[in-house]
Amino acid sequence: MYLLPNTTTITKSTMPHPQQPHAILEGLCKEQSLALAPEMVDKLVEYGRLLEEWNNKINLISRKEDAPIIIKHIFHSLLITQHHTFQTGEKVLDLGTGGGLPGIPLAIIAPQATFLLVDATGKKITACQEMIATLKLTNVTARHLRVEELHGETFHTIVSRQVALLNKLCAYGEPLLHEKGKLICLKGGSLEQEIKQSLEASQKHHGFPARVEEHPIDEVSPIFSEKKIVIAYR
């Protein structure tokens, strides 16, 4: 059993057929006033299929079947757009992308921005490159490297999902962020101590973060009851 946004309880008999990820995604996006072109929905659903296929070969996402990939991983990534509007020409770094989360779903719905996905694990980046090619996405590239090795490039925005403590993400991100750039993370659990530590350590990172916002997303769906969007500002 899993729960759709707000109130609907899904049991085995009423569970959406696996063929219905389009309908699930469209319903969730509509509830959040996130308007997506039909081609975007098609690509997001196709990405979900590819992610599942790759996940059978290499470990990209958890194999727990507590909620469909289209909700737990893809729609979850899209929730960043509740707190950030991607601009034309914006350069975005996905730090520790794994199988392309949140970078690939965001690149699909924000073709006006360019995305660089990096990860320390080579086989995950190979999977991302194959998925990007299959989806024919031209605004996203994936590179196998540790983020500490990335030099000489700056980004307007860094996104990151379930990678490291905020303090560490800020240390990695600060040299790579534009003057007015921000770091947007998808995180879980109690973050009070983690945020406090990152603010206390900001002196070591040229004052970054000067401010941190924490946005719970449990109202979107009980699936995200432990999840938050955390934004670190300069």
Ligand X SMILES: C[S@@+](CC[C@H](N)C(=O)[O-])C[C@H]1O[C@@H](n2cnc3c(N)ncnc32)[C@H](O)[C@@H]1O
The two counts, helices (H) then strands (E), for the chain are 8, 9
Structure tokens at 219: 């109202």
Residue closer to ligand X by CB (options 20, 81) is 81
Among 149, 204, 159, smallest CA distance to 181 is for 159
Rg (CA), the chain: 17
Give the count of alpha carbons within 13 A of 41, CB side only.
16
**Residue from the set 119, 128, 171, 227 that interacts with ligand X by CB under 6 A:** 119
Which listed range, 23-31, 43-51, 96-104, 135-143, lies at the site for ligand X (CB under 6 A)?
96-104
Q: Does 55 bind ligand X (CB under 6 A)?
A: no
Is 161 annotated to bind a ligand? Reply is yes
31 is in an annotated binding site: no
β-pair type (140-144, 114-119): parallel
Query: Does 209 contact ligand X by CB under 6 A?
Result: no
Residue with tokens 């990209």: 60
**In whole angstroms, what separates CA 178 from the centre of its chain?**
20
Residue with nearest beta carbon to ligand X: 98
CA distance 198 to 184: 14
Cis peptide before 38 (omega within 30 of 0): no
Would you count residue 174 as binding ligand X (CB under 6 A)? no
Binding to ligand X by residue 146, rule CB under 6 A?
Answer: yes
Known binder of ligand: residue 101? yes
Least Å distance, CB 60 to ligand X, is 7
Q: Phi/psi zone of residue 17: left (φ > 0), alpha (ψ -120 to 50 degrees), beta? A: beta
Shortest separation between residue 225's beta carbon and ligand X, angstroms: 17
Q: How far is the CB of 30 from ligand X (least distance, A)?
A: 24
| Cβ closest to ligand X, residue 99 vs residue 181 | 99
Site residues for ligand X per CB under 6 A: 61, 96-99, 101, 118-121, 124, 146-148, 161-164
Binding site as annotated, residues for S-adenosyl-L-methionine: 96, 101, 119-121, 147-148, 161
